[in-house]
Structure 1
């Protein structure tokens, strides 16, 4: 073989190898492609379309009118071309901003950029706090992890639409696999079970159920050793994932819900939430049960709820929470409600919620409030007149790129229901680092609130 032919052959092999490291997922027959966006992956110079879904707003207060998304997998940085089908492009930017992705506007309907690899991204052709038609890109790691076909108690859903109903009951030692292109209408439930896995790249939709009705999308009561990973959950009437028990993992879930009370994840003790995306209209991450870790997530907080909810009235003693390396790309709160802050607690029971560490968190497009930490009676709780507290919280290396307009509130209800030992360290808001309680713009009560410290630490060497 001549040298020139050998080089061409090697280039062809290399091209095929690189292309094999990127995978698109089919759209099932019966779902219509987005009327708003077309997404093309440019892999080693070869274009490949990735199907785009679009859902429309379901509630009158939703600030977004649609959400579009496309999901694919790659093992390397990837050039993306987005074509808008219903609007002209005047501006283009991509969040989270820490990736520093530059978007090139090719013409009034085409933009191009390179994603650094797996992750969750929001491509936006509008400016301001309210974005009405976002395009979300969910990039999985390649190669995909799939359960062995010989796994015992394996149920596989192939590409296509499946109606599973609102009470698809799971048993111990069972694995559910949603292949790329699988689209399930329904909800999974389990009770008093263990060793359950739900995995894959398919979609679980609650579109057939009205708000606050039926089950949570995935509901497991008193279940241990649970793994839920990879899937996309949309149109939840209530929680996307509600778990109690112990030793549970939620990994790389993509969750989108329009209704009030569409919480993200509530997890049991010894729980891990990692690499997930939330665009939900109630609390994104519930930090209720001991030994919870949440890390490397991306959150778009809609008009209701909080990205991090510390306590709606939990009983007992709950401790040891670690939340870190989180990107909150939007906070759309419009009202001065007690459940609307980035870091929130409305604790109205006898329980003790203690030992929280939040660090390395970046917050974009928040013009409402950062902190609302209180003990107080409320209609959802069983108030104990003698006990109940929130204590020992550290917030470290938190940056908010905008200036919230409402004052922060850290305050106990009375001397028997304290909020105490709160450290605000290296909190940077709109370019300024807090060095005093005055910088924090706090509302508090020194009789019911003890040990608030605001400090700036030297940078690590």
Structure 2
């Protein structure tokens, strides 16, 4: 009998409702342009039923995958991640580990309801790639709660602030400010950036994150022989820590573990969870090129692996990638990553993966969408100088399909000098054909370089003799960017045989404009290497809201 079966039943019910009643056309009728191979341009006026049908099919397939992943996750001994309905109001703050210095930039208290404020330990890490990082450090605190909690963040460093705000904007958190203290009340979990005016635009020199977690579920027993349990305090393990099938690795709040974990071959039924911190600073050489030889923090490379859960943990100072979990049926939930180097990706899951409610602050790609049947939702991204917030392809030889990426926030993107950086990017030099991507309801704040760069092109890490593939059926809809972009949006294939095709930009808002043609969106579309590139908006004005 499966444990926590209520989660599976709920997801299955939602799936049934979706399949029974597909979404109506999104804001139709539309107006816009379609750009076809060879230079043709046609007017879009009315509905676009083919695109709506593809979007509905992707959403239904993704919902089925979420239910399938939940069924596997429910078989884990400690696989629960969602608090039960009616969980009592509570607040858990965590001690600062001995030997870890508190932030000298900020202090934090949290109070449940009318209760007394409790100190919530604030950590700090320093910028590492100091030749390009414009930030100086990042501070954060982490607590778990349900019910109304009032948070007070005090700015300790020199220089008076004039006000404060909390990102993402979509959280709609009201703040009050007095005497360098930012105060706000939250009732829902979230990964939040507290920013003190006037330094609220890139680069924010001293970022402060508040990781307001839900209550923990399925906390393992320290005496379970299949559990590696790390209590509060500092623990040094080193690199090469073996991941084993059937194992649970648990980091309690206040645990600070210096380690890198690897699976040497396929693993299954594995969980890594808790509210503690895993640091990779001990591996950092201080050199960009040398760091490329360092291991990742979590490395599950064998795609024969199955049923992996990574939940709640904070990863900091990775010299290489943070979380690579290429198992089938992977859940990466409420994970936080903060890292500085050009080679530090945020996270990637394998075939049939759910990446949900995570925070990624990364200098390489934040979320990689490579292996198909992947859902990425509820994530918050702070992109540094390099990489993409959402990376669609990089030298991929497989033919993955069906990605649903929705309800995500990009709160900062510090792109300013690397030519091909973008929020949504494909640098596809592989032989695979990647298809069926639905990006929906994504909000972008404080980013001024470029939204889209979708290309099939060579790079120095690819051998052209391996051949080229295509990009097909990519839908961007309800993308709302709050700022003005300096660089054009690019859509280009390799040649007349290897195209970027069937790409739809539906209700995309940026530069204070709702795009309905290439000129309005500042697009460079190579019609000799692309086909059926659609740019259109709803005629009812809903694109602006």
Q: Give the TM-score, by structure 2 length.
A: 0.79
Q: Helix, strand or coil: the match of 2:393?
A: coil
Which residue of 198, 201, 220 maps to 1:128? 201
Displacement of 1:303 after TM fit?
A: 0.5
Q: What is the match of residue 391 of structure 1?
A: 472
Q: Deviations over 1:155-197 (max 9, x none)?
A: 1111111111100001111111111111110101112211111
Using the TM superposition, give the Cα deviation of residue 337 of structure 1 relative to its aligned residue in structure 2, in angstroms: 2.4
Shifted more, 247-256 versus 112-121: the winner is 112-121
| Structure 1 residue 415 corresponds to structure 2 residue 489 | no
1:95 paired with 2:95, answer no
1:357 is displaced (CA, Å) by 0.4
**Higher deviation after alignment, 424-433 or 347-356:** 424-433
Distance 2:308 2:209 in 1: 27
Query: Residue 312 of structure 2: which of 230, 236, 240 is its match?
Result: 230
Which secondary structure state, in structure 1, belongs to the residue aligned with residue 301 of structure 2?
strand
Q: CA deviation at 1:273?
A: 0.5
How far does residue 221 in structure 1 lie from its aligned partner after superposition?
A: 2.2
Q: Give the match for residue 246 of structure 1.
A: 328
1:453 alignment partner, one of 509, 512, 534: 534
- Which residue of structure 2 aligns with residue 80 of structure 1? 151
Q: Is the 8 A contact 2:88 2:147 kept in 1?
A: no
How far 1:386 moved relative to its partner? 5.4
Identify if the C-alpha distance between structure 1 residues 350 and 66 changes in structure 2 by more than 3 Å, giving closer, same or farther: same
Q: Which residue of 2 aligns with 1:218?
A: 298
1:281 equivalent to 2:363? Answer: yes
Within 5 Å, which residues of 2 pair with 1:340-419?
A: 340-384=421-465, 387-419=468-500
Q: 2:222 touches 2:228 (CA, 8 Å); kept in 1?
A: no
Give the Cα separation in 1 of the matches to 2:409 and 2:460.
32
Match of 2:105 among 36, 39, 42: 36
Find the counterpart in structure 2 of residue 194 from structure 1: 268
Asked if structure 2 preserves the Cα contact closer than 8 Å seen for 1:312 and 1:381, the reply is no
SS of the residue corresponding to residue 92 of structure 1 reads strand
Secondary structure of the residue that 2:520 maps to in structure 1? helix
**Counterpart in the other structure of 2:126:** 56
Q: Give unpaired runs (5+ residues) of structure 1.
A: 1-17
SS in 2 for 1:98: helix
**How far off its partner does 1:383 sit?**
2.5
Farther off after superposition, 164-173 or 242-251? 242-251
Partner of 1:164: 237
Q: Which residue of 2 aligns with 1:112?
A: 183
Aligned length: 442
Q: Unpaired segments of 5 or more residues in structure 2?
A: 1-86, 285-290
Secondary structure of residue in 1 paired with 2:281: coil
Q: Are 2:322 and 2:346, in contact at CA under 8 Å, matched by a contact in 1? A: yes
d(CA) in 1 for partners of 2:308 and 2:466?
37
More moved, 377-386 vs 397-406: 377-386
- Give 4+ residue runs of structure 1 displaced > 3 Å after superposition: 148-152, 384-387
- Post-superposition Cα deviations, 1:104-162, rounded to whole Å, max 9, x if no partner, equal 1112x222121232110000111322111111000111254412456551111111111
- Check 1:19–1:246 CA distance in 2 against 1; reply closer, same or farther (3 A cut): closer
Paired with 2:438 and 2:221, the residues of 1 have a C-alpha distance of 38
Using the alignment, how far apart are the partners of 2:276 and 2:444 within structure 1?
29
Counterpart in the other structure of 1:324: 406
Shift of 1:64: 1.2
Using the alignment, how far apart are the partners of 2:511 and 2:116 within structure 1? 42
CA contact (8 A) 1:41 1:80 kept: yes
**1:264 & 1:387 partners in 2: Cα distance?**
26
CA displacement at 1:455 relative to structure 2: 1.2
CA–CA separation in structure 1 for the residues paired with 2:507 and 2:232: 48
How far 1:317 sits from its partner (Å)?
0.9
Which one has the bigger strand percentage? 1
Q: Greater CA deviation, 378-387 or 110-119? A: 378-387
Q: Deviations over 1:22-72 (max 9, x none)?
A: 110111110111111110113214111100001111112112111000000
Contact 1:200 1:230 (8 Å CA) reproduced: yes
1:368 and 1:143 map into 2 onto residues whose CA distance is 39
In the alignment, the residues of structure 2 paired with residue 192 and residue 300 of structure 1 have an alpha-carbon distance, to the nearest angstrom, of 32
**Residue deviations 1:184-219 (CA, integer Å, cap 9, x gap):** 101011122111110111100001112323210000
| Deviation of the 1:385 alpha carbon | 7.1
Larger displacement relative to structure 2 (19-28 or 326-335): 19-28
**Contact 1:313–1:382 (8 Å) recurs in 2:** no
